[in-house]
Amino acid sequence: MSVSTQTTVLSGHSIIAGRETPGNAGTTRGIDPATNAELEPAYTLIDEAQLAEATAAAEEAFESFSALDPETHAGFLETIAANIEAVGPELVDRAATETGLPKPRLQGELARTTGQLRLFARVVRQGDHRGVRIEPPLPERTPLPRPDLRQRKVPLGPVAVFGASNFPFAFSTAGGDTASALAAGCPVIFKAHNAHPGTGEIVGHALTEAVAACGLHPGVFSLVYGPGASIGQALAKDPAVKAVGFTGSRGAGTALMATAAARPEPIPVYAEMSSINPVFLFDSALRGDADEFARAYVTSLTGSSGQLCTNPGLLFVPAGEAGDAFLTAVDRALAGAEGATMLTPGIARSCRDGIDALGAQDGVEVVARGKEGATENAPAPVVFGTQVPTFLSNPVLQEEIFGASSLVIRYGSADDLVVAAARMEGQLTASLFLSEKDLPTAAPLLPVLERKVGRILANGWPTGVDVGDAMVHGGPFPATSDSRTTSVGTLAIERFLRPVAYQNIPDALLPAPVQAANPWHLNRRVDGRIELAGDSAEDRA
């Protein structure tokens, strides 16, 4: 394994199939949101002809990359992780300057990014994602003999991935969508987010060097900078691209979905877009230390300046003295909270506009407000309040505000919660704070939430997503474009695979996963039963 150790010299250009490629469509610059100062270097933007070079290279790389043996494939993912760690300090420094996010948060996110690459390396070695199923022939079966049938999952083809503004590592150049697509055997064309171009380039070089070190076709990965709408739409239209991974706004996500659906060959778009993550407080949850509970809520609300897709944007609080005491504690906790610098001036303006719009709605009032931050792009965190009937009658109250803002909804009975949950749009998460005596009251809410969200939590705040085998980070529209999948965790690899069956194909022509000898030592389902690697007659021989 070869590991990159040198400091990256930023070129300000795209990396197309291993080559630094100056763009022909103008320039953009990163901005330090703490000062609004433009950063060096300027980044050149590619045009559609140059984009076609990247997609063509990805198509050329697909055949060899999709057929990698598990050890070579896993080693490639591990090399990416090691290369990123080798440039970790400069990555964190650059990302902090480009995003305004605190370095401890970025260091944790960087560890998550390399950790998920290694997690997918484990998945590739184990091979269960290949979904091998074998039905041996039954020539004597009546009334018709059964043919020899063998099934596996194969990669879709090149994948276009779009970087997110709020996670410059974990949902960016080598983040979850890239990692899962590469693990599936799909080359990636990555559209860098223009809010943190330098960060993207440093990671792009680390990934490009891993491609070369592992002897892979250079078209396995390209990093492109371009005008967001035009290059994004061109990627979704390109016939070489077979799937899209996206994290961002509902408007941009639905535009990509429409373009992908209108192609002569429609393709899937896996878009994470909008969520306000309702939190339901039951009576017993408020019987403890109100100040401690309020501080936990404010911490979840204001972390990363509220710029998390799992931010608790709705909080259902029971009417009565306990609920009143809790909101008084929230007022105390938020009064000492100061706005943090947001990712970009545009995001900060949108947050302020959203807060103003919510505060102007009939029946909505301010419950608590923090302090304006030290910079122009650090709006004060705000908690608003309303009642269930107002929430149900005004769709504006379900609109996401990307920032440290939340709406408290006072309810009178558990029936109110069921009705409100049933009227909500799809969400990433829903959280329940309750004790054992609340279980009968909460039980009717669970079936409703299962239809509305991808992850249901008990006695925990939604911010913070564990990366593992059982995690679901997805949900019904508009949380995501496809509620059947996840963008976090090992199940994410399934998005970029499809099944193929082989009927009566001679063994010498079969791909390795379904050959009789099981040369890759995979777990396989044979005649309806799981056969662990090493248990087959061929392996024992």
The pLDDT confidence band at residue 37, using thresholds 50, 70 and 90, is: very high
Query: With contact defined as beta carbons under 8 Å apart, do 164 and 173 qualify?
Result: no
Q: What local confidence, expressed as pLDDT, does residue 55 receive? A: 98
Q: What local confidence, expressed as pLDDT, does residue 285 receive? A: 86
- Name, in order, each residue with C-beta under 8 angstroms of 431's C-beta and a sequence gap of 6 or more: 277, 278, 279, 280, 312, 456, 457, 458, 460, 461, 462
Rounded average pLDDT over 389-404: 96
pLDDT digits (tens, 9 = 90+) for 112-145: 999 999 999 999 999 999 999 999 999 999 999 9
CA 275 to chain centre: 13
What would the CATH number be for the domain defined by 16-22+44-273+488-494?
3.40.605.10
Decide if 40 is catalytic: no
For the chain, what are the domain ranges? Answer: 16-22+44-273+488-494, 278-458, 505-540
% of the chain surpassing 90 pLDDT: 94
Higher pLDDT, 2 or 426: 426
Q: What local confidence, expressed as pLDDT, does residue 396 receive? A: 96
Task: Round to whole Å and give the CA distance between 391 and 369.
Answer: 20
In sequence order, the β-bridge partners of residue 253 are none
Quote the Cα angle for 224-229-235, to 5°. 50
Q: What local confidence, expressed as pLDDT, does residue 6 receive? A: 57
Task: Round to whole Å and give the CA distance between 431 and 279.
Answer: 5
Q: Which entry of 98, 309, 425, 531 is annotated as an active-site residue? A: 309
Peptide bond preceding 478: is omega within 30 degrees of 0, i.e. cis?
Answer: yes
Task: Round to whole Å and give the CA distance between 387 and 411.
Answer: 7
Rounded average pLDDT over 425-446: 95
Q: Which of 140, 143, 134, 210 has the alpha carbon at shortest distance from 173?
A: 210
Higher pLDDT, 538 or 474: 474
Query: Over 60: is that where the pLDDT of 99 sits?
Result: yes
Structure-token pair, residue 240: 């070489």
Quote the Cα angle for 191-192-198, to 5°. 160
Q: Could you tell me the CA-to-CA distances from 38 to 28, 127, 195, 223, 336 in Å, in that order? A: 10, 46, 11, 22, 31
One-letter identity of residue 493: I
Query: With contact defined as beta carbons under 8 Å apart, do 495 and 268 qualify?
Result: yes
Higher pLDDT, 89 or 534: 89
Task: Round to whole Å and give the CA distance between 475 and 455.
Answer: 8
Q: What local confidence, expressed as pLDDT, does residue 2 receive? A: 46
Start-to-end Cα distance in the chain = 33
Task: Round to whole Å and give the CA distance between 28 and 45.
Answer: 7
Query: With contact defined as beta carbons under 8 Å apart, do 495 and 180 qualify?
Result: yes
Q: Which of 194, 180, 415, 431 has the alpha carbon at shortest distance from 300?
A: 431
Rounded average pLDDT over 135-163: 97
- For 146-208, list the strands marked E by DSSP: 149-155, 159-162, 188-191
Q: What local confidence, expressed as pLDDT, does residue 137 receive? A: 97
CA 38 to chain centre: 28
pLDDT digits (tens, 9 = 90+) for 44-60: 999 999 999 999 999 99
Rounded average pLDDT over 512-541: 84
Alpha-carbon torsion (260, 64, 199, 166), positive or negative: positive
Q: What local confidence, expressed as pLDDT, does residue 540 receive? A: 47
Q: What local confidence, expressed as pLDDT, does residue 209 receive? A: 98
Decide if 272 is catalytic: yes
Q: Could you tell me the CA-to-CA distances from 197 to 173, 194, 432 in Å, in that order? A: 10, 5, 39
Provide the 3-class DSSP secondary structure of residue 405. strand
**HEC profile for 100-128?**
CCCHHHHHHHHHHHHHHHHHHHHHHHHCH
One-letter identity of residue 324: D
Q: Could you tell me the CA-to-CA distances from 414 to 163, 316, 321, 384 in Å, in that order? A: 40, 11, 17, 21
Other beta carbons within 10 angstroms of residue 250's beta carbon come to 17
Q: What local confidence, expressed as pLDDT, does residue 535 receive? A: 66
pLDDT digits (tens, 9 = 90+) for 402-423: 999 999 999 999 999 999 999 9
Q: What local confidence, expressed as pLDDT, does residue 286 receive? A: 86
In sequence order, the β-bridge partners of residue 34 are none
Burial 466-490 (b: 16+ CB within 10 A, else e): ebeeebbbbbbbbbbbbbebbbbbb
Q: What local confidence, expressed as pLDDT, does residue 229 receive? A: 81
Query: Over 80: is that where the pLDDT of 228 sits?
Result: no
Half-sphere exposure of 389 (CA within 13 A, CB side): 3
pLDDT digits (tens, 9 = 90+) for 174-224: 999 999 999 999 999 999 999 999 999 999 999 999 999 999 999 999 999
Peptide bond preceding 143: is omega within 30 degrees of 0, i.e. cis?
Answer: yes
Query: Over 90: is that where the pLDDT of 70 sits?
Result: yes
Query: Over 70: is that where the pLDDT of 5 sits?
Result: no
Rounded average pLDDT over 438-444: 94
Burial 259-280 (b: 16+ CB within 10 A, else e): bbeeeeeebbbbbbbbbbbbbb
Q: Which entry of 272, 400, 425, 531 is annotated as an active-site residue? A: 272
Task: Round to whole Å and give the CA distance between 267 and 246.
Answer: 13
Rounded average pLDDT over 443-471: 96
Structure-token pair, residue 344: 């970009």
The mean pLDDT of the chain is 95
Could you tell me the CATH superfamily of domain 278-458?
A: Aldehyde Dehydrogenase; Chain A, domain 2 (3.40.309.10)
- Name, in order, each residue with C-beta under 8 angstroms of 372's C-beta and a sequence gap of 6 or more: 338, 339, 378, 379, 380
pLDDT digits (tens, 9 = 90+) for 262-314: 999 999 999 999 999 999 999 888 888 899 999 999 999 999 999 999 999 99
The pLDDT confidence band at residue 536, using thresholds 50, 70 and 90, is: low
Structure-token pair, residue 74: 């896993």
Q: What local confidence, expressed as pLDDT, does residue 86 receive? A: 97
The pLDDT confidence band at residue 533, using thresholds 50, 70 and 90, is: confident
Q: Which H/E stretch holds residue 432?
A: strand 427-433
